[in-house]
Amino acid sequence: MVKAVVIGRHRMLPKQLEDLRRLGVDGFIQVPMIDEENIADSVEEWASKGARYIIVQALPVHLLHKLYLEASKQGLDVLIARMESIALVKSEEEAEKLVKENPGARTFLRARSGEAVRVVEFKGWDRIKQLHLELEPVTG
């Protein structure tokens, strides 16, 4: 059984699940949030439970980098969804109409009052092949 760890709170789209099944994934471990202090232990635990992939829905870049480094040590692939922006619309009603054109692969990002609503479409999974991050403190 091939498992994938899903880091995030969002439900995956039917097309995302379909593509994961084609990769051989037949089980999921859902993790709503990741603890920065325990990334190495978490990744080791997931690997011991048969995880092959770590799917990241949204993480700050410094956490994504730490996760990638630890996953690489354990032989796990980190996947991110390739989401194409379809449209910016004025209302959720307009967004829902566009989503209905391809409901298995489309969703929209809710907006704050007065902001545009972004409609996005899943295009496939990307494996993070390399991730280099170099940070430098900014001083005043």
Whether 63 and 37 have beta carbons less than 8 Å apart is answered as: no
Higher per-residue confidence, 85 vs 2 = 85
Mean pLDDT of the region 70-94: 95
**pLDDT at site 70:** 96
Mean pLDDT of the region 119-133: 94
Q: What confidence tens digit (pLDDT) does each residue in 16-45 have?
A: 999 999 999 998 888 888 888 999 999 999
Whether 108 and 88 have beta carbons less than 8 Å apart is answered as: no
135: pLDDT strictly greater than 90: no
Is the CATH code 3.40.50 the one for domain 2-127? Answer: yes
Q: Where are the domains of the chain?
A: 2-127
The reported pTM is 0.88
**pLDDT at site 10:** 83
Residue whose C-alpha is closest to residue 98's, from 113, 112, 88, 83: 88
Confidence label for 98 from pLDDT (cuts 50, 70 and 90): very high
